[in-house]
Amino acid sequence: MSHFPNGFLWGGATAANQYEGGWNEGGRGPALTDVTTGGTVDSPRMVTWIDKYGSPHASPSHGFTLPEGASYAVLEDYYYPNHKGTDFYHHWKEDIGLFAEMGFKVFRMSISWSRLFPNGIEETPNPEGVEFYRNVFKELKAHGIEPLVTIWHFDTPLYLEEKMKGWNNRDLIDLYVRFAQTCFEEYKGLVKYWLTFNEINNTIMFLDMWGHEADNEEFRAAYQQLHYQFVASAKAVQVGHAIDPENRIGCMICGITFYPATCDPKDIMLNRHQWEKNIFYCGDVQCKGEYPVFSKRLWQEHDVELDITDEDRKILKEGTVDYYTFSYYMSNTITTHDVEEKAGGNNVEGARNPYLRYSDWGWGFDPLGLRYFLEVINDRYHKPIMIVENGLGAYDIVEEDGSIHDPFRIDYYREHIKEMDQAIAEGVDLIGYTTWGCIDLVSAGTGEMRKRYGFIYVDMDDKGEGTMKRTPKDSFYWYKKVIASNGNDL
């Protein structure tokens, strides 16, 4: 017998910028993801822009800052995969029908900020945008599926990025809170589960990576941006609770399990500090309402002087989240010694762990690492937990008869679900599981379509060619069985 409680929230997850499409329809304004091209596992995504003399440019998106007088631009010779995503905008009824067929209890999606507030600064929301999501939520409810809504998933309106310096600007707090408040008011009674910021810790965790050496100034900016996001999140929690006490509002952390590569005490200490900087720093502020003691050390490392007020501290204290959520794809093995072989891939840069298998994108397959992460978080926060992303980005082959056999994906999920079951048996308060990209969508890291996660195949390629036809893969029928048996039939 499995240990999943009755009412366990089984489902899948997506994000507007990667899935929704309709980028310039229904009054939507552009977001930064709309001026970002596709890349591959070893060539970065580019941001396109025009300098003050009108010359076009494309620069690697990671660590990019728009030069003075320049503006972001969609350029003719480039393809922007997020413009179409996999077209939820025009397929939402059909897709929700498929999720219902799998037996989803919950569906995670995000609201595109610039669909409600095209430039982010408007006093009132775009009615067409508001209506779009209302119809989606009603359809989910009609199928008995609980929406789980991420308010911000990597898509700040482009106007705010370009004219207001994005999250470097304290004014973003109030603009975000207005957006969040609109969501709580408009969808009261339809949505109960909310997440304020997707993978909020990425700002720090991935700053100094992918061939980019961040200097102190960048670290200072990153810690400051995070602080404004923490305050925005805490304010949103308070507003959301005031509008509807039924609302359950959570944080969302990019969950990577860190291991020391050796028993050298220096590696053990490094490992502890990686957990603090990358995982606990954000979780502690959002769950406990104050900066942890080790923040001082982190700030000192980069001469950080935070712009933080007494009012901010009060807001943080009074706006702690109701539950903790995280994404989990892999562990990362780190060391102070020379690394013989790197893990590779486009997400972690630690040592290759000889005990793990790796995906074609270099992401380590480590189900036990998921249980480890669950146990650590359960002990630390004593709050309900949801895993809101987990999955395997892989190549799929469409057979001549149109079928798609993905036993590797089934295997991946089976092993992770077994560890979740074990964690629950040990007392971890895990209440839900939404697999990432339950329907194929654009990869966030590489912008590719061929890195597929879905139970449902979407006919679309890396050049934007395809019919958008939806086809269930073998994993679709397998997951349906898992949900129907509440995790017993794996």
Which of 87, 199, 267, 406 is close enough to bind ligand BG6 by CB under 6 A? 199
Residue 386 has phi, psi (to 5 degrees) of -130, 140
In the complex, least distance from residue 268 CB atom to ligand BG6, rounded to whole angstroms? 27
Q: Return the active site residues.
A: 199, 389
User: From the CB of 14, what's the least distance to ligand BG6, in Å?
Assistant: 9
Binding mask 233-262 for ligand BG6 (x = CB under 6 A): ---------------------x--------
CB of 22 to ligand BG6, least distance (A): 18
Which are the contacts of 125, defined by CB distance < 8 A and separation ≥ 6? 116, 117, 182, 186
Which residue lies nearer to ligand BG6 by CB, 366 or 389? 389
393 in contact with ligand BG6 (CB under 6 A):
yes
- Part of the chain binding ligand BG6 (CB under 6 A), chosen from 45-53, 108-116, 332-340, 439-447: 439-447
Q: Is residue 198 within the footprint of ligand BG6 (CB under 6 A)?
A: yes
Which CB, 271 or 327, lies closer to ligand BG6? 327
Binding of ligand BG6 by 445 (CB under 6 A): yes
Cβ distance to ligand BG6 smaller for residue 86 or 443:
443
Where in 310-339 is the site for ligand BG6 (CB under 6 A)? Answer: 327
Q: Which is nearer to ligand BG6, 125 or 283 (CB)?
A: 283
Interacting positions 140-159 with ligand BG6 (CB under 6 A): none
Residue nearest to ligand BG6 (CB): 445
Size of the site for ligand BG6 (CB under 6 A): 14
Residues 248, 371, 409, 451: which binds ligand BG6 (CB under 6 A)?
451
Contact between 15 and ligand BG6 by CB under 6 A: the answer reads yes
Which residues are near ligand BG6 by CB under 6 A? 15, 18, 198-199, 254, 327, 389, 393, 436, 443-446, 451
